Amino acid sequence: MQIASAYIHIPFCQQICHYCDFVKFFYDDKAADDYLEALEKEMKGYVPGEKQKMKTIYVGGGTPTVLQTHQLQRLLEMIDTYFDVSVCEEYTFEANPGDLDQEKADLLAEYGVDRISLGVQTFDNQLLEDIGRVHREDDVYINIERLRRAGITNISIDLMYGLPNQSVELFEESVDKALSLELPHYSSYSLQIEPKTVFHQRYKRGELSKPPEDEEVEMYHLLQRKLREQGIYHYEISNFSMPGYESKHNLTYWDNAYYYGIGAGAHGYLPGKRTINIRPLPAYLKKANEDGKPVLHEEPVEVKEMMEEEMFLGLRKMEGVSKRRFLEKYDRVVDEVFDGAVAELAEKGLLSDENGYIRLTEKGKLFGNDVFSSFLLDS
């Protein structure tokens, strides 16, 4: 496998959301300038010569579009210097509603960005305030119109369910408003209360509670049904799209393929190893400026781990794990490698094994972690 994808992390935000555990810092003009300088040194470390041809580029955060216009242009020029954007099949930027004025939207389109992932989360203004978001419902409509005016129509939005004080009815209202936008892609995630977040502190003090589990399950099933009725098909546990609009970059992860991880705290997957970059901003800047290699940790990936990850990641896709592709990659038969686990899980109704693909059943989607643990190999 060749390295044909890159994830680039921009860690700055206007405000820190209460649930977020990604590497992020409050936006500061000088810090952003310093970060872009260090980021370029890291890019050059990976691509020291001519532009590298890429299949997908994904710029995430944080909030990449919180950068000032001249900083955003510098970032786009930098990416264009080291990666051949002209042959890229998908070039995505994350954005928050409210961050995109028309000048930024036009700038993204000018430099070849053809896909935007908008962090909407909910269309309910009170819930947006409760989870620490700064945008409001109207900002979503305004930003989508600006993107379409710039010529960017491949737009995805994120929705969250299982939020504190969120009823099934409130979630249904958000889903209906999202579908009214007639977008080609939707992602939806259940709230996870992660350590070192505002919500985690509140949860420990007994000040925060999520909806009951059966209501979360109802929200998930409601989401599946409503999107299916609109011709939006479910291609991964948390992702839905019109045919042909699946996230090619995220499929890189689920197909267990290689990608660069560039930026503070970014994770990468390179031949024979996974990498994790330094998270604290001052330490990242120092190391990147020294030698262009701000890696905190490298973990060797042996064939055993690769086969395990092939199952964990591949089973997230509704398509499932291709037994033929597994054989081609590892020269091993999947059923033999995992010693009857597939048949056992199929008997329990958690997996299906048909037409050369191993897939999660509807029951299996609700017990995914139990299924995945069955594919851990003994050392």
Q: Which band of pLDDT confidence, cut at 50, 70 and 90, is reported for residue 379? A: low
- The pLDDT mean for the chain works out to 94
* Reported CATH class of domain 304-373: mainly alpha
Sign of CA dihedral 369, 370, 371, 373: positive
| Confidence bin at 164 (pLDDT 50/70/90) | very high
Higher pLDDT, residue 195 or 151 = 151
Residues 276-299, mean pLDDT to the nearest whole number: 96
Task: Dump pLDDT digits (tens) for 105-156.
Answer: 999 999 999 999 999 999 999 999 998 889 999 999 999 999 999 999 999 9
Query: What's the pLDDT score for residue 227?
Result: 97
131-137, Cβ contacts within 8 angstroms, sequence gap of 24 or more: 131/17, 131/18, 131/19, 131/160, 131/163, 131/164, 132/15, 132/16, 132/17, 132/18, 132/19, 132/198, 133/15, 133/17, 133/96, 134/14, 134/15, 134/96, 134/98, 135/96, 135/97, 135/98, 136/98, 137/177
The helix (H) or strand (E) run that includes residue 102 is helix 102-110
Task: Say which CATH architecture domain 5-254 belongs to.
Answer: Alpha-Beta Barrel (3.20)
Per-residue model confidence (pLDDT) at position 203: 73
C-alpha 166: how far from chain center: 23
Helices (H) and strands (E) in the chain, counts: 16, 19
Taking the C-alpha atoms of residue 62 and residue 21, their distance in angstroms, rounded to an integer, is: 10
Run of H or E residues at 340: none
Q: Each residue of 315-346: pLDDT tens digit?
A: 999 999 999 999 999 999 999 999 889 999 99
Instruction: Kindly report the number of other CB atoms within 10 A of residue 177's CB atom.
Output: 18
Q: Which of 232, 208, 106 shows the shortest CA–CA distance to 159?
A: 232
217-244 as b/e: b if 16+ CB within 10 A: ebbbebbbebbeeeebebbbbbbbbeee
* Residue spans per domain, the chain: 5-254, 304-373
Instruction: Assign 53 a pLDDT band (cuts: 50, 70, 90).
Output: very high
Six-digit token string for 157: 């939005």
